[in-house]
Structure 1
Amino acid sequence: MERQRVSSGTEWESEVGYSRAVRVGDEIQVSGTTATDEDGDLVGAGDPYAQAKQAIGKAHGEAFGEARPATSMVEVQRLIDPEMLVEIEAVARVE
Structure 2
Amino acid sequence: MKRELISGESPYEDIVGFSRAVRVGPYITIGGTAPTDTNGNTVGIGDISLQTKQCLETIKIALEKAGSSLKDVVRTRILLTNIEDWKVAAEVRASYFRTIKPVDTIMQVSRFINPDWLIEIEVDAIVAT
TM-score w.r.t. the length of structure 1 is 0.83
Q: Which of residues 102, 106, 109 in structure 2 aligns to 1:69?
A: 102
Partner of 1:28: 28
Q: How big is each residue's C-alpha offset from its partner over 1:37-90, in whole Å with a ceiling of 9 and x where there is no partner?
A: 233221110111221122113x4xx63441211101121101110000010111
1:79 paired residue number? 112
Q: Any idea what SS the aligned residue of 1:19 has?
A: coil
Which structure carries more helix by proportion?
2
Gap change, CA 1:11 and 1:40, over 3 Å in 2? closer
Q: Which residue of 1 aligns with 2:43?
A: 43
Q: TM-score, normalised by structure 2?
A: 0.64
- Say yes or no: does 1:89 pair with 2:126: no
Structure 2 residue ranges without an equivalent (≥5): 61-69, 72-96
Whole-angstrom CA distance in 2 between matches of 1:8 and 1:67: 24
RMSD: 1.9
Q: More strand by proportion, 1 or 2? A: 2
1:13 to 2:13 alignment: yes
**Aligned mates of 1:15, 1:53 — CA distance in 2:** 24
Equivalent AA in structure 1 for residue 8 of structure 2? S
Shift of 1:2: 1.1
Query: How many percent identity over aligned positions?
Result: 41
The AA in structure 1 aligned to 2:121 is I
What residue ranges of structure 1 are gaps of 5+ in the alignment? none
